[in-house]
Amino acid sequence: MSLLLPTNLLQCRSSSLLLLSQSPSTTAFSAIAPRRICLRLVTSCVAYDQSSAVNGSAPKAVVVERDQIRLGLVSKGRMATNSLNLLKDCQLFVKQVNPRQYVAQIPQLPNTKVCFQRPKDIVTKLLSGDLDLGIVGLDKLREYGQENEDLIIVHEALNFGGYHLSIAIPNYGIFENIKSLKELAQMPQWSEERPLRVATGFTYLGPKFMKENGIKHVTFSTASGALEAAPAMGIADVVLDLVSSGTTLKENNLKEIEGGVVLQCKAVLVASRRALTKRKEALHTVQEILERLEAHLKADSQFTVVANFRGSSAEEVADRVLSQPSLSGWQGPTISPVYCRRGGKISVDYYAIVICVPKKTLYDSVKQLRAVGGSGVLVSPLTYIFDEDTPRWGQFLRNLGI
């Protein structure tokens, strides 16, 4: 029997490959056993190829010529919801025929296909060339991308997914008075025979962090979900996990320590450097997505404020407005005359000013407007702010080497 093996199977160094070349002792074996061995071998080889990125090297992807740009989005959970909402706010509507499908389209980007994946798979498929772009948490990017140079961040702050990766220790027993990473490392209990045991799902970032901080006697056990129970069960001494509000840690008698934060995390837009340098259409798509994101995210933190001022001229009103530190707007206030009819004649007694102010300083800005004669203050949200150019795009091109 002759078998046609896929390329990755032929390259596999598995010893079971030798079994295929051996002559079977019986006719029945030749009809059935080779097929079973081949199935096991294919599974082994595929797993080896896909795990190469996690083991420290990017998978060797074959460059496939295709027209469509592939954008990876997380398929489930809060990250998935927030990603879809952000794209919607940028007027990029992800259209699925039904919610169970793992592919979708964005009508505003007709050359782009959306692929819903697990966070880990988004990173590994960016490395393998199966995806061109992706939105994923920075923690997953660092854990599974392992600083690979082919992964380049397009936008590092998408305004959701705010959490951090941190070490948490029990607040009882031998750890009761431990308040910092330095104190944890200097505890006399840890030795080569009895190392510090860390339960975590971050088997790349964890050891890397400990090594960078000079903690030698440490071991890691891989786990996912309910890590907070590991110290109480005696499985581990401390945990390394994602923390948002910290409530779960407190409820399980755990605490964070000074110097124990491994990574501050937010959602990021990441791309394959190889895809962007070899395919112009991918670069053009990234530019449009980035400009939409920038315009929305910049506007999302601002209010438009309109107020009326009684004054003798636009210059006189501008002088009063600009005397206040929070009323300069982006490039200065826009001032227009307010026309009214008095005694049958058109006159100008008031001027309207329009400025943008940060949401966090809105009330201070309103008080400053009132202090210099402003009245009838109107406040409305901003949707987009498109600048003359996008500074982040220029910086991205420089990082890309273009």
What gap in Å lies between CA 143 and CA 148, rounded to an integer? 10
Whether 307 is covered by a domain: the verdict is yes
- Flag whether pLDDT at 271 surpasses 50: yes
Whether 395 is covered by a domain: the verdict is no
Residues 195, 309, single domain; the answer is no
What gap in Å lies between CA 189 and CA 185, rounded to an integer? 10
Task: Look at 174 and 62; give whichever has higher pLDDT.
Answer: 174
Q: What is the CATH number of the domain that holds 245?
A: 3.40.190.10
Whether 44 is covered by a domain: the verdict is no
Residues 144, 275, single domain; the answer is yes
Provide the b/e sequence for 178-194 (b: ≥16 CB within 10 Å). bbebeebbeeeebeeee
Residues 11, 157, single domain; the answer is no
Averaged over 28-32, what is the pLDDT? Answer: 37
pLDDT at position 381: 94
User: pLDDT by residue (tens digit) across 342-352?
Assistant: 888 898 989 99
Could you say which of 275, 299, 323 is where a domain stops?
Answer: 299
Whether 195 is covered by a domain: the verdict is yes
Averaged over 258-282, what is the pLDDT? Answer: 93
Whether 389 is covered by a domain: the verdict is no
Residues 257, 273, single domain; the answer is no
Residues 281, 368, single domain; the answer is no
- Flag whether pLDDT at 10 surpasses 60: no
pLDDT at position 222: 85
Residues 292, 154, single domain; the answer is yes
Question: If pLDDT is split at 50, 70 and 90, which confidence band does 1 have?
Answer: very low
Residues 156, 62, single domain; the answer is yes
Q: Structural domain tally of the chain? A: 4
Residues 184, 213, single domain; the answer is yes
Cβ-contact 266, 138 below 8 angstroms: yes
What gap in Å lies between CA 321 and CA 118, rounded to an integer? 52
Integer-rounded Cα Rg, in Å, for the chain is: 29
Q: What is the CATH number of the domain that holds 314?
A: 3.30.70.120
Q: Which domain holds residue 143?
A: 50-161+266-299
Residues 74, 148, single domain; the answer is yes
Averaged over 20-25, what is the pLDDT? Answer: 38
pLDDT at position 344: 84
Helices (H), 51-162: 77-89, 119-128, 138-145
* The two three-digit tokens of residue 190, written as one number: 């840890």
Task: Look at 78 and 20; give whichever has higher pLDDT.
Answer: 78
Whether 256 is covered by a domain: the verdict is yes
pLDDT at position 59: 53
Residues 147, 239, single domain; the answer is no
The number of helix segments (H) and strand segments (E) in the chain equals: 15, 15
User: pLDDT by residue (tens digit) across 113-150?
Assistant: 999 999 999 999 999 999 999 999 999 999 999 999 99
- Flag whether pLDDT at 173 surpasses 80: yes
User: pLDDT by residue (tens digit) across 48-57?
Assistant: 343 444 444 5
User: pLDDT by residue (tens digit) across 70-114?
Assistant: 999 999 999 999 999 999 999 999 998 887 889 999 999 999 999
Whether 42 is covered by a domain: the verdict is no
Question: If pLDDT is split at 50, 70 and 90, which confidence band does 315 have?
Answer: very high
pTM confidence score? 0.78
Tell me the residue type at 214. Answer: G
Residues 16, 60, single domain; the answer is no
pLDDT at position 64: 57
**Residue whose pair of structure tokens reads 């980035």 in the numeric block:** 290
Residues 322, 373, single domain; the answer is yes
DSSP E strand stretches across 183-317: 196-200, 218-222, 238-243, 254-265, 267-272, 302-310
Whether 278 is covered by a domain: the verdict is yes
